[in-house]
Structure formats: C-alpha cells, structure tokens
Amino acid sequence: MGAIARRITRVITAVVCVAVSVGVSVATLHVPTREGGGERFNPARYRSDVIADTVINHTTGVDKTQGTGTAGSPYDNKGYFPEAGYTPSDFHAPCSIWTYRDAESVWNCQVSGLQDLDTSSPHVRDVLSDYFVKLLDYGVAGFRVDAVKHMPPEDVLAIKKLVAKKSGRSMNDIWWTQEVIGDNAEAAEIQPRNYLKTGQVNEFQYAYRLKSLFSNSLAGGSLSIKDIPQNITDSGKASVFVTNWDTERNNMTLTYKDGDAYRLANAFMLAYPYGAPNVFSGYEFHDTDSGASGATATSVPDIDCSKDSGWSCTERWPDVHGMVGWHNVAGDAPLSDWQDDGDNMIAFGRGGRAFIAINNSVRTRTVTYHTALPAGEYCDVYASADCSGSVHVRFDGDATLTVPAGSAVAFHIAATPYTVRQ
C-alpha cells in the first residue's frame, strides 16, 4: 500500500482549498482508482475547490513479469501499458540513479525501480496532457505534481503548455505546484529555481526550518523565525507546509505526534506572510508503510472525522480553522509590530487587520503587546469559534494577553463578540 495509501489525504491551501489525492492508476490513465471514480473530483462533494495529486514522471515498479492495475488494465515489466497508450519506446532504458549530483542521472533513470517515462517524447507529452485535461474536465482547480525534479524543467513546462492549449485555458489559470526537494549538495539543474516558469514549488526547507525552530528556540538561535524565508524560494512562488504524507514519516518535519508544537507551527504558517500555506490532514500511522484504516489493495474508505476514527481532520481543529479565517482576513497586509523575548515568545501583526501571539515555552506568559488594530473587543480565534475567549485592545493599540504554555492568542477585525453573535 505504501506511498499510494499515504496520499489519501487533504491539504487545505490559502483560501481553504481541498487537495484530494485521487489520481491516475499506475497502469492506466483510467479512473476509477482505489480512491474512486471521476465523482471524487467534483468540487460540490467537498464544498471547495479540488487539487489533484498527479504522478507523471513514472508509472509503476514491477517486481513480476506482468500485472493488472486497479482499473483492470494490464501492464508488464517491459513497458507495455496498452490502455494508457505506452510501449517500451516511451520509457527510458532501465538504470538506477547513481548520484543526485548528475542531473542526467536524476532525469533519465528510475526512482526506486519505478519505470521512468521519457517526458521529452511528443507522444508521452500528448498522453500526459490528455490526462491533465481529463482531470480539469472532471472539475479540478489545479494540480500538485509529484517528483518534478526527476524531469527536465523544459519537459514539465512543455506539458503544461499543452494542457493550457488543449483545455482552452491560459497557463496562469491552471494552479500548479510542484514537488521539488531542494538540496544545495545536489546538481544545480534540479534545484527548485529551475521550475518556477511552470508554477509554484513546494518549499521543503521552510518545513525543515519550522521543525528546528519549534523544537528549540523561535527567536534565540542563529536563525530567528522572523527571518524564516531567508535564502529560499521567493514568496510568490513558494507553496509551504508544516508536513506532508512523506515527510511526516521520515522525521524531517513536525507531525501530529508533536502536539502543541505542531499546532503552533500551523498557526505561524497561516499567519506569517510567506508563500501559499498548505495544511496537511492525514491519518494516524504506526510505521512508515501504514495505510489508512480499512484500506485494501483495491479500495480506500471515505475519510471519517468522528472521534477515535484514526483520521486527523486537521482543518477541523478549532485552532487551525480559526487561523484559516485569520489568514484570509489578513490577506495581503504586510508583516507589522514584530515583538519577541529573544526565545520562545513571539508576536506580530498584519497591519491593522490581524494580530497573533505565540507561546512556545513551557509556562503561561502575560505580556502587553502593541498592535495596529482599532480599539475594541475581539475574539480569540485560536481558542474557539464561539468567542469564549476575548481580547481587549486599548485606544493606544496595546493589548495585554495571557497566553498559555504551548498555545497562542490570535484575533482579527472580522471576529468580534458582536459579529459572532449575528
């Protein structure tokens, strides 16, 4: 089940957009997959836009001579995928990536034994662009593209251009974010900056830095969290996250198992003006290859957000839900009124629209902060959705906040005791 099972997740992006990982069968471009058919892409099902997680660099790994995909389509270990329209000539010759310091090896050899498509081939590009157009016709709003650094940038760009042409859309109208794990020790040609013409890139360094900062000191180390975007992808091209279905299993990022630190990192990501934030919602796991509860070789159950179901349903947590609203109200307002204690207590605003104080320490703190918000009473949206926690901003803009250990206080101009009662 492994990697495919792990993609049964949701990612809530900036203005609440659900990424539903229902993708292509490894043996065909047909839907259904284990997660269901075309109806799974219908935005009305989720009352939100849908982003599809797509894998186009490779098909399946084959540990036997022949196999049959979830949709009933045959394939073999020589590169015959008849229902997808692939023959052996559509794949690179089998080879293993011998070093990530050589771009040609990364682009033309197999990732973990997975049959590597030749994305420079006009036929392969045609098949893949048809796949994207089919998903757009189902109703998806855009795509997260997997393993992008394993394809030359010009190939990925050419495929997206074909998608735009065939679908009658402009390139900018197709939301497109790419998994490109940057590492300065690797070849220059496969770094995230090379893929920015096609769309956003997942900024993994941001997630790694969040783990380090929330595990140690937010403002007292060599890198303050205020400067977290330093020397990484420009904000307008960065897609950021606290964790995803891969990194939560390799100990590189914070996960639900980190408790308060994980919640606070999500709050910071939604509050700080950098990148397009993605809130990951998955399920409890006990080992690297754990699949979703109830998943089989042919099906995956619907997400269950009831208590003790095993699904995290992160976007429904009151603090995360409140911070998504906070993020949307803050909009494009600039970072303002930064204040910290040189360690694990930070606070900042977004102009006159919103303010947050984060306490990553082990004791409750009461601090007076200056804000740019108008005087008045506000709801603490991190604490609850019913305004059971409130904040008073004085006429001079100051607010005295009591922030519990491992928690935050967050408020904005659209959530007041009056508006919540309406």
- Cβ neighbours for 8, distance < 8 A, ≥ 6 positions apart: 21, 35, 282, 283, 291, 292, 295, 300, 303
> What is the rounded CA–CA span in Å between residue 29 and residue 85?
9
Question: How many residues are given for the chain?
Answer: 422
> What is the rounded CA–CA span in Å between residue 192 and residue 195?
6
Rg (alpha carbons) of the chain, rounded to whole number: 23
Q: 179 an active-site residue?
A: yes
Bin 298: left if φ > 0, else alpha if -120 < ψ < 50, else beta.
alpha
Residue with tokens 């682009």: 107
CB 219 within 8 A of CB 226: yes
| Candidate list 146, 248, 319, 340, residue with the active-site label | 146
> What is the rounded CA–CA span in Å between residue 391 and residue 399?
7
> What is the rounded CA–CA span in Å between residue 185 and residue 182?
9
- Cβ neighbours for 168, distance < 8 A, ≥ 6 positions apart: none
| Candidate list 49, 53, 118, 179, residue with the active-site label | 179
Question: What count of other Cβ atoms lies within 10 Å of the Cβ of residue 375?
Answer: 13
Strand partners, 410: 356
Structure tokens at 339: 């204040």
Q: 146 an active-site residue?
A: yes
> What is the rounded CA–CA span in Å between residue 180 and residue 401?
40
Q: 3-class DSSP state for residue 128?
A: helix
Comparing C-alpha atoms, which of 56, 234, 19 is closest to residue 132? 56
Helix ranges, 238-310 (H): 260-271
Helix (H) or strand (E) holding 330: helix 318-330
Catalytic residue annotation: 146, 179
